Amino acid sequence: MSHTCHRAGDSPSGGLVKAGKKGRIHISAKAMNITWANDARFWKWIQLSKNDLPQAFSKDDMSFDVAAELIQVNWLEARGSVELQPGLVGSRRWEIIYHIRFKVDAFGWSRAPVTFELITPDGHRQKKSVILEPYRRRRSSSSSNEWQEIHGGEIRTTGKVEFAMSQVESHGWKGGIIFGGVSFRPK
């Protein structure tokens, strides 16, 4: 029997990529390829109630009820793709938002930046590095379990767009986040 540390995302046709109001596109964490997500020592899949959904998802009445909870890893990598259709996109500029919630015991986000990457159909790569500690502190300073919207870049294109969130250059351990998915929003 073959074992893999990589969890391939579920089929987008399984309802895990949805068009929302105002032209937004939402992609569930379950539709993404997440390294180590098949190993319960590192990740677990959790059920979300409607009240627990990221605000962008609940505004659009999304039915994503599963999120990926990061227990701990030293190699963070979540990749996905979406087909931006010409009729849907027009000449819009899109921003990609990662929906992340920090748990009380979140750790390892202060030193090494997380890289957010976009790859357009013509192979153009856009990378952005972000230290997530300020987002974690927001969670610590409020009494709520609010979702953080982390801006992962902007594009203007049609066709298949690939995107990723990774932190693979530092071998420091990190954990304590809940990853709900991503949204593409017109700017």
What does the pLDDT read at residue 61? 54
> Average pLDDT in the 67-88 region?
89
- Give the pLDDT band of residue 1 (cuts 50, 70, 90): very low
Mean pLDDT of 30-53: 89
Distance CA 100, CA 23 (A): 21
Lowest mean pLDDT segment, chosen from 46-50, 58-62, 136-140: 58-62
Question: What's the pLDDT score for residue 135?
Answer: 87
Q: Are 57 and 180 in contact (CB under 8 A)?
A: yes
Domain ranges of the chain: 20-65+74-92+103-172
- Report which secondary-structure segment, H or E, holds 44: strand 43-47
d(CA 131, CA 152): 12
| Cα separation values, 127 from 1, 36, 115, 162, 166, Å | 37, 23, 7, 12, 11
**Residue 129: pLDDT over 90:** yes
| CA-to-CA separations, 67 to 24, 99, 116, 175, 180, in angstroms, rounded | 19, 10, 19, 14, 5
The pLDDT of residue 143 is 53
Tell me the per-residue pLDDT of 84-127, one tens digit each, with 9 for 90 and over. 876 654 557 889 999 999 999 999 999 899 999 999 999 999 99
Question: What is the CA 168 to chain-centroid distance, rounded?
Answer: 16
> What is the pTM assigned to this prediction?
0.85
Does the pLDDT value for residue 2 go beyond 80?
no
Q: Of 104 and 145, which is predicted with more confidence?
A: 104
